[in-house]
Amino acid sequence: MIITYRQDDGTEESVSTEALSAIESADIEAALGETPWREVEDRLRGGDPTAMRAVLWVVRRRTDAKLAFDQVDVPGWRRRLTCRLERAELDDVLANLLAEALGSGEDGAIEAMLPHMRKLAADPGDVERALEAVGKGHLGKPQPDSAG
């Protein structure tokens, strides 16, 4: 996931959870009350400001080792902080949907998730590329109106 903080001057600080070390991930888990990483990811997907702040904190500690978690605040977090999915995560979502659907109704399940995936994608074009990769590219294209 990519956590982005837009500052007052418009500059953005973006952090990919893929770039975190195991120690940094463990520090995030500890800062969030010994929360397992799977739950941290769920909280990030849900837009939890404390989880997003924890990711920013561990990355900022790379240049300021003494920075404490409670010293990192994000004023106006609702409009300044976002968490978006990266292509590998979109691939995982589609693979899970396909595995769960087992052939029947899989297109409907995928179509139902597309608006959510596009909203959460760091690069909305990755959704179409992920669909193409699993042989479902037709779902990402507008369908002709059959009422004609």
Q: Which residues of the chain have pLDDT under 50?
A: 146-148
Please, which residues have CB within 8 angstroms of residue 15's CB and are 6 or more apart in sequence?
Answer: 2, 3, 4, 55, 56, 59
pLDDT at position 27, please? 97
pLDDT at position 105, please? 59
Q: Closest Cα to residue 94, out of 110, 105, 107?
A: 110
- HEC letters along 40-73: HHHHHHCCCHHHHHHHHHHHHCCCCCCCCHHHCC
DSSP β-ladder status, 12-16 and 81-84? unpaired
d(Cα 148, Cα 146) in Å, to the nearest integer? Answer: 5
Residue type (1 letter), 135: G
pLDDT at position 101, please? 67
